Amino acid sequence: MTEYVFLDLRVTRVARLSPTMLRVTLGGDRVDDFASGGRDQRFKLFLPHPGQDAPVVPVDAGEDWFGAWRALSPANRAVMRTYTARDQRPGELDVDFALHGESGPASRWALAAQAGDPVTVLAPTSRDNSAIDFRPPPETKRVLLAGDETALPAIGGILAALPAGTAADVWIEVPRADDRQDLASAADVTLTWAVRGEGATLAESVRAADVTVPGYAWIAGESGAVKALRRHLVQTLGVDRRAVKFTGYWRRGASEEDLLAEVVAGGTPHLEE
């Protein structure tokens, strides 16, 4: 069996979680074939272009789904974006969209999403899959999590998975005070919200804190902010660089196509050292 398969799904429900966060719940005959391993489970989302009835993805692509998708005409092939499986129940998969207006096809699509709309996802076929990055070493007693609103779904998934007895120091930057969410966890969580509309930023908020050095740190969000924060953790706080998992989830001024073009040209995705 291949590690990832295309699944054609449909929107079953849309719910506004906060002013800038929209939950799109997906269903369909095969939705339970999506084997989410939880935490920061990422996946590729494929959206139709305006005027298309459904996303165009390769048929029977197998392991080389990316090559097969790239071989299709850019004007016709589905728009591909990366999202997080926020939660999964029998028959349902939740995806939370940080809305940033009409400037990107995914944000634009989410703003207009209605029950019945078709989407395709590239789904993991095993819960233990390579699209989960949050992997603290066993016996880790304290983790640090930091991210902006695009990482809020992943942080929510990670906190839901953390066991009791783990300490989690968490910083999340959101656009507005009412974008804050309740995040359930069995862990011992200390959560700080940085509200951008009130002048706060993620990096400044962590810098201003009296941070206890964690055994493992996970950072995601806008690339520039992620890099700055990682530097602070490693160079100023002395966190072992091997214990910091950091991912640029988006980059200001660049679409996901732009970032992908860099990868294809031999650069590194989302972040450059």
Binding-site member from 19, 104, 118, 224 for ligand FAD (CB under 6 A): 104
Restricting to residues 57-86, name those near ligand FAD by CB under 6 A: 81-84
Compare residues 104 and 215 and give the one whose CB is closer to ligand FAD.
Answer: 104
One character per residue 20-59, x = contact with ligand FAD (rule: CB under 6 A) = ----------------------x-----------------
What is the C-alpha to C-alpha distance for residues 265 and 254, in angstroms, rounded to an integer?
Answer: 15
Q: Is the distance from CB of 245 to CB of 218 less than 8 angstroms?
A: yes
Compare residues 41 and 185 and give the one whose CB is closer to ligand FAD.
Answer: 41
Instruction: Tell me: does residue 129 bind ligand FAD (CB under 6 A).
Output: no
**Shortest spacing between CB 24 and ligand FAD, in angstroms:** 10
Compare residues 118 and 224 and give the one whose CB is closer to ligand FAD.
Answer: 224
- The total of other beta-carbon atoms located within 10 Å of residue 252's CB is 8
Strands 79-84 and 142-147: unpaired
Instruction: Tell me: does residue 218 bind ligand FAD (CB under 6 A).
Output: no
For residue 163, give the amino acid letter: P
What is the C-alpha to C-alpha distance for residues 272 and 224, in angstroms, rounded to an integer?
Answer: 10
- Of 5-13, 95-103, 157-165, 198-206, the window that binds ligand FAD (rule: CB under 6 A) is 95-103
Binding-site member from 37, 58, 105, 156 for ligand FAD (CB under 6 A): 105
Strands 142-147 and 216-222: parallel
Compare residues 27 and 224 and give the one whose CB is closer to ligand FAD.
Answer: 224
Paired tokens of 191: 């959560």
For residue 237, give the amino acid letter: L
**Shortest spacing between CB 175 and ligand FAD, in angstroms:** 9
What is the C-alpha to C-alpha distance for residues 88 and 26, in angstroms, rounded to an integer?
Answer: 9
Instruction: Tell me: does residue 14 bind ligand FAD (CB under 6 A).
Output: no
C-alpha gyration radius of the chain: 18
**Shortest spacing between CB 61 and ligand FAD, in angstroms:** 20
Compare residues 86 and 232 and give the one whose CB is closer to ligand FAD.
Answer: 86
Binding-site member from 35, 78, 93, 106 for ligand FAD (CB under 6 A): 106
What is the C-alpha to C-alpha distance for residues 39 and 10, in angstroms, rounded to an integer?
Answer: 23
Binding-site member from 3, 10, 255, 260 for ligand FAD (CB under 6 A): 255
User: DSSP letters of 119-169?
Assistant: EEEEEESSSS-TT----PPTT--EEEEEE-TTTHHHHHHHHHHPPTT-EEE
Compare residues 58 and 221 and give the one whose CB is closer to ligand FAD.
Answer: 221
Paired tokens of 93: 């998969």
Instruction: Give residue 228's Cα distance to chain centre.
Output: 19
What is the C-alpha to C-alpha distance for residues 220 and 247, in angstroms, rounded to an integer?
Answer: 5
**Shortest spacing between CB 115 and ligand FAD, in angstroms:** 20
Compare residues 106 and 113 and give the one whose CB is closer to ligand FAD.
Answer: 106
**SS3 category, 69:** helix
What is the C-alpha to C-alpha distance for residues 151 and 172, in angstroms, rounded to an integer?
Answer: 8
Residues in contact with ligand FAD by CB under 6 A are 42, 81-84, 96-98, 100, 103-107, 150, 153, 247, 249-256
